[in-house]
Amino acid sequence: MVQDVYGDPRDVLRLRDADPPAPGERQVLVRVAATSVNPADVYFVTGVPRLVRLGTGLRRPRRRIPGGDVAGVVEAAGPGVTRLRPGDAVFGRCTGAFAELAVAAEDDLAAKPEAMTFPDAAAVPLAGTTALQAIRDVARVRAGQRVLVVGAGGGIGGFAVQLARHFGAEVTGVCGTGSVQRVRALGADHVIDHTREDFTAGDTRYDVILDNVAARPLPRVRRVLAPAGVLIPNSGRGRLAGLDRIVAARLTGLFTRQRMATFVARDRRDDLVTLAGLVEAGALIPPVGATYPLADAAAALAEVAAGHARGKLVIVP
């Protein structure tokens, strides 16, 4: 799927033949078996918010093929590659995953367990590592804590619910009506349907809140945070893509015992290995919502952009 300009995915993405990419130093060529859609992919295709263009190209996209999550088989190895070889099944992060072939750094890939399907593996990289770093590293969730996951029906939220339960927390998930059963099946102890109940109006106080939606004002969300609790504002709306909410959270954190924990997820191979182990052990189920053929990638992006996606949307070439 190739784009030459920014815009609505349904207008600017086209399925075309292209020359295969060549792996460089310590890179491998991956035959893509599956990829998945993240909000970041929507930003890169639409160029909105315009802040993203500082890194993707001011007037037109520098990278013509979108997609960062990948699961597939190593086709060829570039110079300096020592850990991977052709034929290895892998998953992780790459560039240009909305294609049959993509290039990835060796250090950004992990071995795919045999028991994990390619679509499941493709759902893990960005959403899974973001949830893991938020729950384990930033919030340091431990047994007995109360954790609230807002946007539990999405990709990051679906992983976060399971990971918080894995670390022994009592988990409440907030989602839409259509995701209630899914979130409950992922292990949430309590589920709040945001179309019927305002979670900020309840009496329960949470030790950790991971807010993936930002539909409620920050002061309202803080109302249900324990006095020494941790709030992670992981999303935002509008032209600044949540930057304004992050700044507000950091400023608020200067004047309260409550910790406003903003962070940027990092690509870490060790985290991919950890997540793969949890999947293999049956402790984690990648929350795949729907699968699209590559030709319908624009529709999948539009679904994520509209905020209607349930779970992770996966694309199969």
Residues 6+ apart with CB under 8 A from 53: 6, 47
Domains 9-124+286-316 and 127-260 share a fold: no
Contact yes or no for 316/99 (Cβ under 8 A): no
Contact yes or no for 103/94 (Cβ under 8 A): yes
Write down the pTM of the prediction. Answer: 0.93
Contact yes or no for 78/28 (Cβ under 8 A): yes
Instruction: Say whether the peptide bond before residue 286 is cis (omega within 30 degrees of 0).
Output: no
Between 138 and 264, the more confident residue is: 138
| Strand, coil or helix: 183 | helix
> CA 207 → CA 131, 154, 188, 217, 259, distances in Å?
16, 21, 16, 19, 10
Q: How far apart are CA 44 and CA 62, in angstroms?
A: 10
Reference 171, options 198, 201, 191; nearest CA is 191
Q: How far apart are CA 55 and CA 22, in angstroms?
A: 22
- 223 burial level (CB within 10 Å; 0-12, 13-18, 19+): middle
Q: How far apart are CA 161 and CA 135, in angstroms?
A: 9
Which uninterrupted H or E stretch holds 270?
A: helix 269-280
Q: Is the dihedral of CA 285, 290, 291, 297 positive or negative?
A: negative
Confidence of residue 235 (pLDDT cuts 50, 70, 90): low
Mean of the per-residue pLDDT values of the chain: 93
- pLDDT of 239 > 50? The answer is no
> CA 228 → CA 204, 206, 241, 253, distances in Å?
14, 10, 27, 11
pLDDT at 238: 42
Contact yes or no for 153/178 (Cβ under 8 A): yes
Q: What percent of the chain lies above the pLDDT cut of 90?
A: 85
pLDDT at 244: 64
- Ordered DSSP codes for 121-147: HHTSHHHHHHHHIIIIIIS---TT-EE
Confidence of residue 119 (pLDDT cuts 50, 70, 90): very high
- pLDDT of 237 > 80? The answer is no
CATH of range 127-260; options 3.30.70.1140, 3.40.50.720, 3.40.50.11610, 3.60.20.10? 3.40.50.720
Q: What is the pLDDT of residues 83-96, one digit of tens each?
A: 999 999 999 999 99
Reference 67, options 18, 15, 1; nearest CA is 1
Write down the domain spans for the chain: 9-124+286-316, 127-260
Give the chain's largest Cα–Cα span: 59
Reference 169, options 229, 223, 216; nearest CA is 229
Reference 188, options 148, 129, 143; nearest CA is 148
51-65, 244-258, 268-282: segment of lowest average pLDDT? 244-258
164-168, 218-222, 231-235, 294-298: segment of lowest average pLDDT? 231-235
> CA 223 → CA 1, 210, 226, distances in Å?
45, 14, 8
Residue range 9-124+286-316, CATH number? 3.90.180.10
pLDDT at 240: 44
Q: Say what the alpha-carbon torsion angle 156, 158, 159, 161 is, to the nearest 10 degrees.
A: 120
Confidence of residue 243 (pLDDT cuts 50, 70, 90): low
Q: Is the dihedral of CA 175, 178, 181, 183 positive or negative?
A: negative
